[in-house]
Structure 1
Amino acid sequence: MRPRFSPTSAAGAGIGRSIALDLARRGAAVLVTDRSPADARQVADEIDAAGGRAQALQLDVKDAQGIRDAVDATVALAGGLDLLFNVAGINIPKNVEMMEEDEWASVLDVNLTSIYRSAKHAIPQMRRRGGGAIVNVASIAGVLAENRCGAYSASKGGVVLLTRNMAMDFARDNIRVNAVCPGSTRTPRTEGYWRNSPTGKSEMAELCPMKRSAEPEEIARPAIFLASADASYITGAILVVDGGMTAGFRIPTFDRM
Structure 2
Amino acid sequence: MNPSPYKTSQTAQAFAPAVYAGLAGKSVLNTGGASGIGRAMAHGFARHGARLTLLDLDAAGLAATKAELEAAYPHIEVETVTASITDPAAVEAACADTEARFGRIDILLNNAGISMNKPSLELTPDEWRRAIDIDLSGVFYCTQAAARRMVRQGGGSIVSTASMWGLASSARRLAYCAAKAGVVSLTRSLAAEWAEHNIRVNALCPGYTSTALMESLLARKAIDGDALLARTPLRRFGTPEEMAEVALFLASDSAAFITGHALVSDGGWTADGF
Asked if these proteins are the same fold (TM beyond 0.5), I'd say: yes
* TM-score tier (shorter): over 0.9
Confirm or deny: 8 A CA contact 1:29 1:77 kept in the other structure.
no
3-state SS, counterpart of residue 147 of structure 1 = coil
Q: Which runs of 5+ in 2 are unaligned?
A: 1-22
| Offset at residue 28 of structure 1 (A) | 0.7
Alignment pair present for 1:212 and 2:236: yes
| Residue number among 216, 227, 240 corresponding to 1:203 in the alignment | 227
Equivalent-residue separation in structure 2 for 1:128 and 1:4 (angstroms): 15
Q: Which residue of 2 aligns with 1:76?
A: 100
Asked if 1:238 corresponds to 2:267, the answer is no
Q: Specify the alignment match of 1:132 in structure 2.
A: 156
Unaligned 5+ segments in structure 1 are: 251-257
Deviation at 1:53, TM superposition (A): 1.0
Correspondence for 1:226: 250
Mean Cα displacement is larger for which, 60-69 or 193-202? 193-202
Query: Residue 18 of structure 2 aligns with which residue?
Result: none
How far is the alpha carbon of 1:249 from its aligned partner?
2.8
Query: Partners of 2:90 and 2:235 in 1: how far apart?
Result: 40
Can you list the C-alpha shifts for 1:17-52, whole angstroms capped at 9, x where unaligned?
000111011011000111111111111122222221
How many residues align? The count is 249
CA contact (8 A) 2:217 2:223 kept: no
Question: Which residue of 2 is the match for residue 5 of structure 1?
Answer: 28
Q: Which residue of 2 aligns with 1:141?
A: 165
What is the Cα-based RMSD across aligned positions, in Å?
1.3
More displaced stretch, 177-186 vs 116-125: 116-125
SS in 2 for 1:136: strand
Partner of 2:40: 18
Partner residue, 1:255 = none
| Aligned partner (choices 70, 73, 78) of residue 48 of structure 1 | 70
Asked if 2 retains the 8 angstrom alpha-carbon contact of 1:132 and 1:175, the reply is yes
Query: Deviations 1:28-83 (Å, cap 9, x if unpaired)?
Result: 10001111111111111222222211011112111111111111121122111110
1:153 and 2:177 matched: yes
Instruction: Tell me what 1:32 maps to.
Output: 54
Match of 2:134 in 1: 110
How far residue 199 of structure 1 moved from its aligned partner, in angstroms, is: 7.7
Which among 145, 150, 167 is matched to residue 191 of structure 2? 167
Is the contact made by 1:47 and 1:53 (CA closer than 8 Å) also made in structure 2?
Answer: no
Q: Which runs of 4+ in 1 moved over 2 A?
A: none
Q: Deviations over 1:120-148 (max 9, x none)?
A: 11112112221000001000111111110
Alignment equivalent of 1:190, drawn from 194, 214, 228: 214
Shift of 1:95: 2.7
Q: Deviation string for 1:167-208 (max 9, x for gaps)?
A: 001000000000010000000011001011298112111111
Q: Secondary structure at the match of 1:146?
A: coil
Distance 1:198 1:160, change over 3 A: closer
Cα–Cα, structure 1 residues 175 and 213, in superposed 2: closer, same or farther, change >3 Å?
A: same
Q: 1:27 aligns to what SS in structure 2?
A: coil
Compared with structure 1, are the counterparts of its residues 198 and 233 closer, same or farther at alpha carbon in structure 2 (3 Å cutoff)?
Answer: closer
* Alignment-mate amino acid for residue 251 of structure 2: A
What is the letter of the counterpart of residue 108 of structure 1?
A: I
TM-score normalised over the length of structure 2: 0.88
State the TM-score, normalizing by the size of structure 1: 0.94
